[in-house]
């Protein structure tokens, strides 16, 4: 990912992480997604 799309992939990863949390309530996130999103 050396084409300047790292930020886009990070957003995509974050959305996948959030969707996983919403689909699986027992899932423990690798990081605090909502805290991370509120920082941006």
Give me the residue spans of the domains in the chain.
Answer: 6-39
The per-residue b/e assignment along 21-36, b for 16 or more CB within 10 angstroms, e otherwise, is eeeeeeeeeeeeeeee
CA distances from 22 to 6, 9, 10, 31 (A): 24, 20, 18, 15
pLDDT of residue 22: 79
Is 0.95 surpassed by the pTM of this model?
A: no
pLDDT digit string (tens) for the chain, length 40 residues: 455 567 778 888 888 888 887 787 675 666 676 676 676 5
- Which value, to the nearest 10 degrees, does the dihedral of the CA atoms of residues 40, 19, 34, 29 take? -120
């Amino acid at each position: 990912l050396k084409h300047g799309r790292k930020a886009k992939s990070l957003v995509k990863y974050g959305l996948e992480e959030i969707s996983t949390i919403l689909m699986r309530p027992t899932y423990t996130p690798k990081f605090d997604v909502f805290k991370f999103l509120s920082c941006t």
